[in-house]
Structure 1
Amino acid sequence: MTKNVLAETQKNSSKSKKRSSSTSISLYSPKLSLVILVPCVIIFIFLQTHTLIQFVQSSSSSPSSWSFLSKWNNININNCSLELKAMAVKLRNSVTFLPLKDLRYDKTALQGHTWFMSSMYDTHEEGEVQYQHFPSVASEGRLLCILGHDNHDGSWNSYALAWPETLPYNATLLKGLTFISYNHYNYDNIWHGLSAMVPFVAWHRRLGSCRIPNRWILYHWGELRTKMGSWLGHLMEATYGGALNIEGFDGIEGPACFEEAVVMRHNEGGMSRERRMEVYDLMRCKARVYCNVSLVDGDPVVKGKDVAVIIGLTLFMRTGARSFRNDSAVVEIFQGECLKVEGCRFRVAYSNNLSFCDQVSLMSSTDILVSPHGAQLTNMFFMDRNSSVMEFFPKGWLKLAGVGQFVYHWIASWSGMRHRGAWRDPHGDDCPYPEDNRRCFSIYKASKIGHNATFFGEWVRNVLQEVKHSKTEEASSLRSTGCACD
């Protein structure tokens, strides 16, 4: 029996330990901790609130309490001000200038990424111009700053981003809108210069606000340029309605920061044909207004129900390289074919002795432009849409000139013209090297162009007939009298 009692006692002891263990676990459970913690927090908040109320009530009769609180606040404000000033100093000192021209890309400057402001990415929507805008979301609200006075070595010029409140030391803030152009070629050749300007006109027109820049900054290979060619300058004055302010950083020693800046570095790349045509329409219209060009000579003359269609045929000549060897023979061919077509008006002009407005006027009344390959063909976009272009090349260009020989095919398409093909002279100066040797191109590039009377005559005869037919059908249509961005 003693054994049974002992066993029972041990059993009860074991149960008691289990209950005790269970009770111990429940005392430290998360739920119980939360139940205990919440009332504690409530009581703490109540006591703190009660203490604050008592302090406010006592301070109403105790100016010294308010004085203490005011001093405490002033100390906090002063501390915050000191911290903000220290932070501003750090931000100013952290502005990092990078080379405008990144020499890592000097071998592939026109391929893929760019060597100009190489750390920045463009904003590019489908079919639109590629650009950078400062300040913007992309720049996190920072302004563009440039230390870029050097006009001999672009790698000495540099750029950085900075917040408006913490511009670099010795910086000059330039107010208004700044256009910053990068051109891999130059601003004197009218084709290369125009290619650099077109994206600015596209940005100007696309946003609908037609904003006028306060200044232009021009870079070529990262080197500062302070002027552009006369033809290009007049075109931009016409487009934007006033004289250009080209920044040379005169009197500015340190960095120049821009309240607002738009940077273009990819020319017309990425733009759709539709957008390009809108840009060329705008520049054509603005140039005609700027030059006060009358379109009477080019318009159909209506006599009762009969319409006499006027066709302007212009032989636009060059001198020197890529000119015709026998100008008079070529003139005779085209003039003779023009005389056979009623309403055809023939003119011969040389591009090197015409002012900008002379060229605008000439092209505005031209329906068929006949010219050797060269920058003077850029004037084609001053003609009405659907006008025709006939182009001529010296020997050797097809094999050796690369894609650059097709630029006037492109501009014809972009500006709404009809490129009627090209004639390539099979004869010309001999090259002492194999025909496919690149050294031959320097010889062919300076060559002159011969002629083929039979081919030229038949070619222009067909073009004249097609143009007369199309102009007859379009005779009742009206010209647009207003420009975009008026």
Structure 2
Amino acid sequence: MATARTPPSSSSPPFQNINGKHHHNTMKQHRITTFFSPKLSIYLVATCAVLLILFQIQSLQTPSSSSSSSPSPRPQWPAFMRRWESLISNTTTTNLNRNDDNNCGKESTILSDQDVGPTETKESSTILSRKSVEPMETKESSTVLSGQGVGPNGAREFLDMDSVARKLRDSVTFLPLKDLRYSNAPLQGHTWFMSAMDDTQEEGEAQYQRFPSTASKGRVLCLRGRDRHDGAWNSYALAWRDALPNNATFLNGLTFVSYNHYDYGNIWHGLSAVVPFISWHIGNRCSSPARWVLYHWGELRAKMSNWLTTLLEATLHAPLNIETFEDGDGYSDDSVACFEDAVVMRHNEGGMSRDKRIETYDLLRCKARMHCNVSLEGRLSEVTGSGRLPVIGMTMFMRTGPRSFKNETAVIGIFEKECRKVEGCRFMVAYSNNLTFCEQVKVMSSTDILISPHGAQLTNMFFMDKNSSVMEFFPKGWLKLAGVGQLVYHWIASWSGMKHEGAWRDPDGDPCPYPDDDRRCMSIYKGGKIGYNETHFSDWAKRVLREVRMRKTEEASKKNGPAANGCSCG
């Protein structure tokens, strides 16, 4: 940088001294026009420092071509920084072309050389520097994202995407559906079914898994699981949709994958496994599955009970399609099924709040009644002939074989006698084993007091109007030895909005050769028959009838019955 100077006058030499005055003026003029000054020096130093810092930043932002063949796209800079980089890059190029000898120019040249790889020239470094200030939306940046990069010698290279997909496909790892590490306590803590996966738990909802999801990193669920005898032979894996494992069949639509520690043939155990799916169905815009996949101890199951099948078809408005992975469908032992959208439930109703359970059972009751052409009005509108009192339906729901009454005639006579004493009480006896699904729904819909031994037939209780009563009976030995399983119908009464009126436990029964608290006695007591106590049964029936009469009268005075406005989920 230079400052223009005024040439000295030809008539007076620059250092001529005339009485000392001219010399003073001449020196003053010389100081004004000199090339160097302290302020200019400070300005030059500051400018060089700024350039040095900016070039260091630029070198960090410009990836070296020798270090990677496919550099990552660099982040966008604010507009003013891009202008600065462009200005500096142009200045550097100009300095290089002019071979500026000042210190600042040399520093710029050195900094530019730092960006140059072992086989690149200064010219290529300048080009790279200019490209580095382009925004990410340019063609160069988009090619990097699409798999195109810059090789060691500046040549463009393309990633073999088929090779990447093949490697991802080969890296899919299958794990056993049944983790034998948990075989001694499969229901305690972490389940042994798909044990490597964690559940999603939303407040009040059942625990579940969803594939694909954020938790699965966008991967879909794949199953190699059609063995029906040993769940340890069945396995699962997660895979990206574009890199499915070899020999895979992709199944479109929503799939419900159910794990049940017990049995889908028993209506109680089967119902407890599907209730969380119905709750999920309600909370997800009434989405219905294209298929079900059923597992019991990791073993594939091909069917549910007819009762449960009809209930699900009525609730979901679609035929029940249970996937069995048969040979005729194109599957073999090595075949894999991958699902577009899968929901997995493996804890039955665990985690569901009482409100969610009641909402779910309300839908099941409503859909079953619609399916069976039973009125949704409820029974509050039914009154006696005088029109003064509501009708009370008392039903003995009997079973045959284990846990049936030893003397059915005597037990029926006790409760029928008490019913006749109450105006408007209608007594009925029904056997669960000879009724169709809809016949059971109709019986329950006309029942206010359900009298029945402990057993799966009590599952039908949720078809009754809410706030109805349940009376349960047990054979000898169950209180000490049956564990929490003896409470399941107490639970379902609470979950479906019913009132469990307690249980009677027969103190007499078949003898056991072991102490009463020996678990070996349960094999004798489990199938035992139930006796009766006339006095206790009569008093119990009177109390329950009185309470139901008061409750129904009170409810009838408040409203004429529940509004018949259809079911949720259409």
Q: Which amino acid aligns with 2:359?
A: E
Residues 326 and 450, structure 1, Cα contact 8 Å, conserved in 2: yes
Which residue matches 1:177?
254
Residues 295 and 365, structure 1, Cα contact 8 Å, conserved in 2: no
Which residue matches 1:89?
166
Which residue matches 1:8?
none
Q: Which amino acid aligns with 2:235?
A: S
Residue pairs, 1:401-416, within 5 angstroms:
401-416=482-497
Q: Which amino acid aligns with 1:198?
A: V
Which residue matches 2:221?
144
Q: Which amino acid aligns with 1:267?
A: N
TM-score w.r.t. structure 1 length? 0.85
Distance (whole Å) between structure 2 residues aligned to residue 382 and residue 197 of structure 1: 16
Residues 263 and 296, structure 2, Cα contact 8 Å, conserved in 1: yes
Residues 295 and 364, structure 1, Cα contact 8 Å, conserved in 2: no
Q: Per the alignment, do residues 235 and 303 of structure 1 end up closer, same or farther by CA in structure 2, a change over 3 Å counting?
A: closer
Shift of 1:33: 4.5
Ranked by relative contact order (alpha carbons within 8 Å, sequence separation 6 or more), the top structure is 1
Which residue matches 2:182?
105
% same residue: 63
Distance (whole Å) between structure 2 residues aligned to residue 230 and residue 35 of structure 1: 77
**Which protein is bigger by CA-based radius of gyration?**
2
Residue pairs, 1:305-344, within 5 angstroms:
306-344=387-425
Count the aligned residue pairs: 438
Residues 512 and 524, structure 2, Cα contact 8 Å, conserved in 1: yes
Shift of 1:296: 7.7
The unaligned stretches of length 5 or more in structure 1 are: 1-25, 53-72
Distance (whole Å) between structure 2 residues aligned to residue 256 and residue 358 of structure 1: 39
Which residue matches 2:130?
none
Which residue matches 1:167?
244
Residues 297 and 310, structure 1, Cα contact 8 Å, conserved in 2: no
Q: 1:200 aligns with which of 277, 296, 307?
A: 277
Which residue matches 2:323?
247
Distance (whole Å) between structure 1 residues aligned to residue 449 and residue 223 of structure 2: 46
Residues 383 and 424, structure 2, Cα contact 8 Å, conserved in 1: no
Shift of 1:85: 1.6
TM-score w.r.t. structure 2 length? 0.73
Residues 316 and 349, structure 1, Cα contact 8 Å, conserved in 2: yes
Q: Per the alignment, do residues 427 and 478 of structure 1 end up closer, same or farther by CA in structure 2, a change over 3 Å counting?
A: same
Residues 367 and 384, structure 1, Cα contact 8 Å, conserved in 2: yes
- Runs of 4+ in structure 1 deviating by more than 4 angstroms, as ranges, are 29-33, 35-42, 44-52, 73-79, 302-306
Distance (whole Å) between structure 1 residues aligned to residue 272 and residue 389 of structure 2: 38
Q: Per the alignment, do residues 304 and 188 of structure 1 end up closer, same or farther by CA in structure 2, a change over 3 Å counting?
A: closer
Residue pairs, 1:63-462, within 5 angstroms:
79-80=157-158, 82-207=159-284, 209-250=285-326, 251-253=330-332, 254-294=335-375, 298-301=379-382, 306-462=387-543
The unaligned stretches of length 5 or more in structure 2 are: 1-44, 59-86, 98-122, 128-147
Distance (whole Å) between structure 2 residues aligned to residue 340 and residue 183 of structure 1: 46
Q: Which amino acid aligns with 2:562?
A: R
Residues 323 and 449, structure 1, Cα contact 8 Å, conserved in 2: yes
Shift of 1:300: 2.6
Distance (whole Å) between structure 1 residues aligned to residue 55 and residue 198 of structure 2: 57
Distance (whole Å) between structure 2 residues aligned to residue 200 and residue 32 of structure 1: 66
Shift of 1:429: 0.8
Q: Per the alignment, do residues 158 and 301 of structure 1 end up closer, same or farther by CA in structure 2, a change over 3 Å counting?
A: closer
SS of 1:461 mapped into structure 2: helix
Distance (whole Å) between structure 2 residues aligned to residue 302 and residue 341 of structure 1: 13
SS of 2:277 mapped into structure 1: helix
Shift of 1:149: 1.1
Residues 301 and 307, structure 1, Cα contact 8 Å, conserved in 2: no
Shift of 1:124: 0.2
CA RMSD of aligned residues (A): 2.6
Q: Which amino acid aligns with 2:525?
A: Y
Describe the superposition over 1:190-249 as per-residue Cα deviations: whole angstroms up to 9, x where unpaired: 110000000000100122x10110000000000011100111111111110121010011
Q: Per the alignment, do residues 433 and 74 of structure 1 end up closer, same or farther by CA in structure 2, a change over 3 Å counting?
A: closer
Q: Which amino acid aligns with 1:34?
A: I
Which residue matches 2:561?
478
Distance (whole Å) between structure 1 residues aligned to residue 532 and residue 347 of structure 2: 38
Q: Per the alignment, do residues 35 and 458 of structure 1 end up closer, same or farther by CA in structure 2, a change over 3 Å counting?
A: closer
Q: Per the alignment, do residues 380 and 100 of structure 1 end up closer, same or farther by CA in structure 2, a change over 3 Å counting?
A: same
Q: Which amino acid aligns with 2:473?
A: F
Shift of 1:137: 0.7
Residues 367 and 383, structure 1, Cα contact 8 Å, conserved in 2: yes
Describe the superposition over 1:96-127 as per-residue Cα deviations: whole angstroms up to 9, x where unpaired: 00001111110110000011001100000121
Distance (whole Å) between structure 1 residues aligned to residue 54 and residue 302 of structure 2: 77
